[in-house]
Every structure is written in C-alpha cells, then in structure tokens.
Amino acid sequence: MSLNIIVLAKQVPDTRNVGKDAMKEDGTINRAALPAIFNPEDLNALEQALRLKDANPGSTVTLLTMGLPRAAEIIREAIFRGADAGIVLTDRALGGADTLATSYSLAQAVKKFGNYDIILGGRQAIDGDTAQVGPQIAEKLGIPQVTYAEEILDLSNGTVTVKRRLESGVETVKAPLPCVVTVNGSAAECRPRNAKRLMRYKRAVSPSEKAKLSEEQQAYVDAHPYLQLQEWGAAYVDADPEQIGLAGSPTKVKAIENVVFTAKESRRMDNNDEQIEDLVKELIANHTIG
Amino acid sequence: MADNNNLIVYCEFDEGKIADVSLELLTKGRQLATELGVKLEAVVIGDKLEGVEQQLFPYGVDTVYKVEDKRLFPYTSNPHAAVLINLFKEIKPQICLMGATCIGRDLGPRVSSCLHSGLTADCTSLEIGDHKDPKTGKEYQNLLYQIRPAFGGNIVATIVNPDCRPQMATVREGVMKKEVFDPNHKGEVINLDPKKYVSDADFVVEIIDRHIEKSKVNIKNSPIIVCGGYGVGSKENFALLQELADTLGGEVGATRAAVDAGWADHDRQIGQTGVTVRPKLYIACGVSGQIQHIAGMQDSSIIISVNNDPNAPINTIADYVITGDLVDVLPKLIKYYKKNSK
C-alpha cells in the first residue's frame, strides 16, 4: 500500500545562541536575527515517516513548514535525508501568529494538499516548547491525534499502532487513519544525508530563492522540475485573514521583561581547603546536611 | 467589562487519587477565584469516581462536575476533549487551568482549538490584572496574566487573552504550592450524564496496552540536590556529582543543556520544562543560571554555586559561591563531609 505522508516541521532559532536583538519591540520574535536549525523532534518525526516509506514502496513523504522564505533550507535538508518534496507556507500576513493561528494556517495548507494518510510532526519545537500545534491541527482537520509517540509499530488496514512514551510509563494505542502523530525526542534518530540525494538536490530552490539566482541558473532550475520547491501564500490556501497572523491570535504578549534577580549577599570563596571545610562544618552544624 | 463566570480546573484522576498537580492548581485557583469574586470549580472525568469530591473540597472547591463512564478511563484525547468542549459551551468558565502533563498538554490544545480560546503552556506564575490594548486603546479588567519564561531564557513574557474565553493555561507539577484551604469546606456535586457530553464516535483511539512505570528518580522530594549544568563538561564528570549526592544522601539533577548533551536522563531535568524543586540544599555545579532553570529551583533554602566563572548569573541568587573547577571542588566537599560528619 502506498501512502501519502505529510511531515510538519519547523525551522527554529537555535535557542542556545540567542542574542540581544532576538525580540522585537512588539514582543514577537525577530527570527531574522538568529541562527536557524531544523527543529530536533521534527527530525525524529521525519525518520518515522521515512521508515513508513521504506516499508510501503511507492509512498511519498512531503515536508510542510510555515515560516520565513529561508525555511526552504529545512526542506532541502529533509530531501537530502530521503523526503520527496516540500512546501513552504510563507506570507507576511502569517507573521506574529500564536499556536492557534499557526495551526489554522497549517491545517488550511493540509486541506489544499488534499489526499493524505498520516501527518507526522515533532512533539514540540524548541523555541516555544508548547506542544500545541500538532493537536490543534488534528482538531481543525477533525481527525484523531496520538501525541508523545516513540515508535510506529504497525500501519495496516487503515489503522496505525503507536507506542507512546509518557511520564507514567508506556502505552500502545491504535488509531484510525488519517490521524496526526507527534513524535518524541526519545524516538529513533533521523538517518543522515544521503550523498547521492545531496548531489541531485543541492540546487533545489523555492521561487523566492530562485528569483535571486542568475538568469543562467534560473534556466537550469526551469529545465529540471525536481529542483523546484513549492512556496504557498495565505490566499493560496484560502486562509481567512481574520484567523491568521497577529490578528488571528487570541493570545497577546502583554509585556516582556528582562528579569533581574534580587541578589542575595553571597559568601564567596575560592577553591581553598580551609574555606570548604568551614562551609561543610557550618552546613552540618545547622542540620542542612548530615 | 466585569466577568462573573467561574474558574475551573481539569483534575486528573488515577488509581483512586487526584493528581498532585491538580491539587496544586486548585490551591492557586482558589486564590485567583477569591480575588475575582467567583466560584472555584473542578471537573473530573473517568471511571469509579465515587467520593472523589472528598479529596477536592478541602482545597476550596465550590462545584465538582463528575463525568463517569467506563470508557473514559484510561484517558484518551477525543472523549475527554468532547466533554470539556460541551461543558464549557454550557457553563462558559472565564479561566481553565490544567496540569502541563502528558494529559494536559494533549487535551488543552484540542479544547482551545475547538473553542478558539487562547492557551499558554508551562506557566510559572498566574496573576490577575488589567490590560489596555496598545492599538485600540480598549481596556480590560481582571484578565489572567499567564507568565512564563520565553525564548532562550533572557526574558519573562506576560501573556493575556483579552477577547476569548476561557483563558486557558497549563502549569507543570511542583510549580504551584499545594495547600489545604479549609478541611471542612463543602461544595456542591453535579453528576453529568456522559451520553450528553461524549458520543460513541469520539472513542476512536483504542488503548491496547499500558505499562505503568514508577519513575525511578524522585528529585522532587529530595532534600538535597546536586545539579549539573553544561559547565560540567562530560558524562564522566557527572559521575562526580553522583558521588557527592550519594555521600550527602541526595539526588542528582541537571539543566536542560546537560540533558540535551546526553549527560543525564530527562527525568532529572530541573526547570520550567522539567521539575520544580524546593530542597533544603541545592548545589549547582557548572550551572550558568538561565531563567528557565532558576524558575525551577529558586525556592531552595540554601544554594551553593560551584562555577569557574565568578560572574555566572546563578551566583547572584546563591548563598555560597565557590569559584573553582568542580573537578577539584567536589572531591573536597566529599572529603570534608566524610571527615566531619561522624
């Protein structure tokens, strides 16, 4: 049985390298100022999708991402690792979206995409850690969700069997297709880039990337349809302007504060035997330890 | 615009007990409801709910909604979401709180999507306050301030949902304190007919197998915690932390960066997206002190920071700062403890 698999992925700021210009004055994220990476758990989801493709020849894996035009970078990365195609949902009108406006926009894109059997995505993205977009897309599409997935054990006869990793243990559930499955970081790591695919697809570009190329390079892309990544806007996916971007977001950022901790009067010491022994004696004397 | 509608807490129930995180939220919910002058309500969905209200009333709950059906336990997404969606359409709560657990984080988004209400994940503080929309100038009174660290840890964001109800927030276990409001407090019980709130078609996902594993580590209740950050540098150095923890009778914790680096298991992570702890003694080793981490340990009684960097942010909240390499300092702590503890 061949499957149409959608993988939801996000290009995220590398939160370990956040600089001072990371936030705009309106409290939203200034994504352009940050190094961007493939959200780690979305790679775990991609691996589960590629395994389904391996087990079901003729299947296709399509990456769907919403973000800035440069998010085409993660589509190329996914294609190097084995995905077949990708779509960047990008539009100024989508900017400043909270999770609800984001999931609405992505659900619209999924509807535009049409025929799908299963949607996979990471459990959560490292920039917000909300884990909300997967379940919200499932709700908007009117299909079931399976969150915290660690492994897809079986997909047959219109159902998928999934092992879930929860704080209280492990659960195995069976859900009807189509459904949304969000994948944990504890799932299998994503396979690396394939050298042949890298050679074949390294010049794949989205329309906005193509526009910046020389005429000669553009002609090359035009002559090779497999190098053409798709870019969709809000109007193309029939998104209601009232439900997208900042306007479509019920949550508003009221304030952003740099936190200053009330400094205690710390007792400072060096790596000095006498001082450390005194400290230990003091902690024993006041019954903190011992 | 006064909002007289009530505040409701979705309570998790398993093995005859209401989850701690739900009782913590009821404690916070009682304060907020009193401040707003509204009722505190609780909803429990599951099986064998007889007498469950007795666990809830002492926390100041005025109304307990019970929805009982064999098929509603163990938890699955669609049926519990259907109950909340239909109940909320009827009683229109102004605020809904849930634990940021595997259940709350699965359920909350589904409910908020259907009701188009805003949902803020992993709040570290909840307050009531006013708000003026900067663009329209429209003023709102008594909104729920949903406060959480955001984005790399340099900032704390206050989120509001001005126009949509309920205002929804999830909070992790241990963030709020659990305190009995009044052991003799009594409220009302409302038994809801499950057939009116959930349809057979909602039971689409089947649980084939369930293995409950009690977490092996219990850092939440440990009186002494030795916590390692990215500055620990390696898995080998983490063994030193374990040795100190074993010597003192404590547990090892870790920051997110150390967990991401693979030096410690995820269930040892302390901070906003991990566990919140309040031990007697907290020894931070190679921990820089990002807000998300500090949010999970700042109420520790005594904090010792061991760090190469004399200007590490965590040092500002530490009671004792030892400037030095933990590879040298920790063995000395072990040595002098053994020498003096007899």
Fold agreement (B6-204, B224-340): yes
CA distance A214 to A139: 44
With an 8 Å Cβ cutoff, are A289 and B281 in contact? yes
Question: How many angstroms separate the CA atoms of B147 and A254, rounded?
Answer: 10
- How far is residue B302's CA from residue A271's CA, in Å, rounded to a whole number? 19
Distance, CA of A139 to CA of A104 (rounded, Å): 10
Q: Best residue in A24, A161, A266 to probe B by mutation, most B CBs within 10 Å?
A: A266
How many DSSP H helices and E strands does chain B contain?
9, 18
Q: Please tell me the distance in Å from B257's CA to the nearest CA on chain A.
A: 8
Specify the CATH number of the domain B224-340: 3.40.50.1220
Contact list in A for residue B312 (CB cut-off 8 A) is none
Residue A165 CA: distances (Å) to CA of A187, A249, B172, B174, B272: 9, 31, 18, 21, 20
Distance set, CA B118 to CA B25, B90, B110 (Å): 18, 18, 11
Residue A73 pLDDT: 97
For every one of its 290 residues, what pLDDT tens digit does chain A have, with 9 covering 90 and above?
A: 899 999 999 999 876 655 556 666 665 667 667 789 999 999 999 999 999 999 999 999 999 999 999 999 999 999 999 999 999 999 999 999 999 999 999 999 999 999 999 999 999 998 888 999 999 999 999 999 999 999 999 999 999 999 999 988 899 999 999 999 999 998 999 999 999 999 999 999 999 999 999 999 999 999 999 999 999 999 999 999 999 999 999 999 998 887 666 667 788 998 899 999 999 999 998 888 87
Scanning B167-226 for CB atoms below 8 A from A yields: 204-213, 215, 224
B273–A98 CB contact, under 8 Å = no
Residue A21 maps to which CATH number?
Answer: 3.40.50.620
Spell out which residues of chain B touch residue A280, defining contact as CB-CB under 8 Å.
333, 336-337, 340
- Check: CB of residue A199 under 8 Å from CB of residue A80: no
CA–CA dist B47, B58 (Å, integer): 22
Using 70 as the pLDDT threshold, list the residues of chain B that sit under it: 1-2, 151-154, 214-216, 342
Partner-chain residue, chosen from A140, A251, A281, that has the shortest CB–CB distance to B161 = A251
Query: What was the pLDDT predicted at A18?
Result: 58
pLDDT of residue A25: 65
A140 contact B CB<8A: yes
Helix boundaries (H) for chain A: 40-55, 72-81, 99-113, 133-141, 195-201, 207-210, 215-223, 273-285
Say if residues A228 and A221 touch (Cβ distance below 8 Å): yes
Q: In this predicted structure, what is the pLDDT of residue A261?
A: 62
Instruction: Write the CA distances from B148 to A36, A255, B152, B154, B159, integer angstroms.
Output: 23, 11, 12, 11, 8
Whether B154 sits inside 8 A of A258 (CB atoms) is yes
Tell me if chain B has a CB within 8 Å of the CB of A268: yes
CB B49 within 8 A of CB B72: no
Contact present, B118 and B159 (Cβ < 8 Å) = yes
Question: What's the confidence (pLDDT) of residue B1?
Answer: 45
CA separation for the pair A250, B242 (Å, rounded): 46
Is position A220 within any domain?
yes
Q: Do B155 and A23 touch (CB under 8 A)?
A: yes
What was the pLDDT predicted at A1? 82
- Residue A278 placed within a domain: no
Q: Which residues contact A149 (CB under 8 A, 6 or more apart)?
A: A48, A123, A162, A163, A164, A165, A181, A182, A183, A184, A187
Q: Is B337 on the interface with A (CB under 8 A)?
A: yes
The span from the CA of A113 to the CA of A107, in Å, is: 10
pLDDT at B3: 75
**What is B6-204's CATH topology?**
Rossmann fold (3.40.50)
- Judged by a CB distance cut-off of 8 A, whether residue A233 touches chain B is no
Closest-CA distance of chain A to residue B155, Å: 5
| 3-state SS class at A56 | coil
Token pair for residue B138?
């429209």
Is the CB of residue A33 less than 8 Å away from at least one CB of chain B? no
Question: Three-class SS string for B124-153?
Answer: CEEEEEEEECCCCCCEEEEEEEEEEEEHHH
Q: Please give the residue range of the domain that contains residue A8.
A: 4-243
Q: Is residue A267 part of a domain?
A: no
Which residue among A147, A169, A254 sits closest to B106, beta carbon to beta carbon?
A147
Determine the Cα–Cα distance for residues B194 and B182; give it in Å rounded to an integer.
Answer: 31
Chain A residues touching residue B328 (CB < 8 angstroms): 271
Chain B residue at shortest CA distance from A248: B116
CB contact under 8 A, A144 and B281: no
Question: Is the Cβ of B102 closer than 8 Å to some Cβ of chain A?
Answer: yes
Q: Identify whether the C-beta of residue B43 lies closer than 8 Å to the C-beta of residue B88.
A: no
Nearest CA in chain A to B131: A254
For chain A, the domain total comes to 1
Inter-CA distances, A179 with A120, A149, B101, B310, B312, Å: 9, 13, 22, 52, 46
> Residue B269 has which token pair?
């992570």
Q: B54 CA to chain A: closest CA distance, Å?
A: 25
Q: ∠B217-B219-B224 over CA atoms, to 5°?
A: 125
Q: What are residue A260's phi and psi, to 5 degrees?
A: -110, 125
**Alpha-carbon distance B70 to B48, whole Å?**
8
Chain B positions touching A129 (Cβ under 8 A) are 121-122, 273
Residues of chain B found within 8 Å of residue A283, distances taken between Cβ atoms: 281, 302
* Alpha-carbon span B230 to B264, nearest angstrom: 11
Q: Domain for residue A97, yes or no?
A: yes
In contact, A164 and B308? CB cutoff 8 Å: no
State the Cα–Cα distance between residues B82 and B90, nearest whole angstrom. 12
Does A283 fall in a domain? no
Is residue A140 in some structural domain?
yes
Q: Does A133 touch chain B (CB under 8 A)?
A: yes
CA atoms within 13 A on the CB side of B61: 27
| Of B121, B161, B224, Cβ closest to residue A131 | B121
B247–chain A Cβ distance below 8 A for any pair: no
Q: Which residues of B touch A148 (CB under 8 A)?
A: 102, 106
Which residues 165-204 of chain A have a CB within 8 Å of chain B?
Answer: 166-176, 186
Say whether A174 and B210 touch across the interface (CB within 8 A).
Answer: no
Rounded to whole angstroms, what are the CA distances from B311 to B147, B272, B291, B297, B308? 27, 23, 15, 19, 9
Q: Tokens for B158, please give them.
A: 């206050």
Using a CB-CB distance cutoff of 8 angstroms, which residues of chain A are in contact with residue B341? 284, 289-290
Annotated domain spans of chain B: 6-204, 224-340
Q: Which positions ≥6 away from A31 have C-beta within 8 Å?
A: A13, A67, A68
Query: Which residues of A are less than 8 Å from B159 in CB distance?
Result: 251-254
Instruction: Round to whole Å and give the CA distance between A159 and A175.
Output: 6
d(CA A127, CA B274): 15
Q: Is the pTM of this model over 0.95?
A: no
Which residue type is seen at B231?
Answer: G
Find out whether B165 and B92 touch, Cβ atoms under 8 Å.
yes
Write out chain A residues lying below 8 Å of B211, CB-based.
169-171
- Does any domain span residue A290? no
Whether B323 and A270 lie within 8 Å, measured CB to CB: yes
**Cβ distance of B106 and A176 shorter than 8 Å:** no
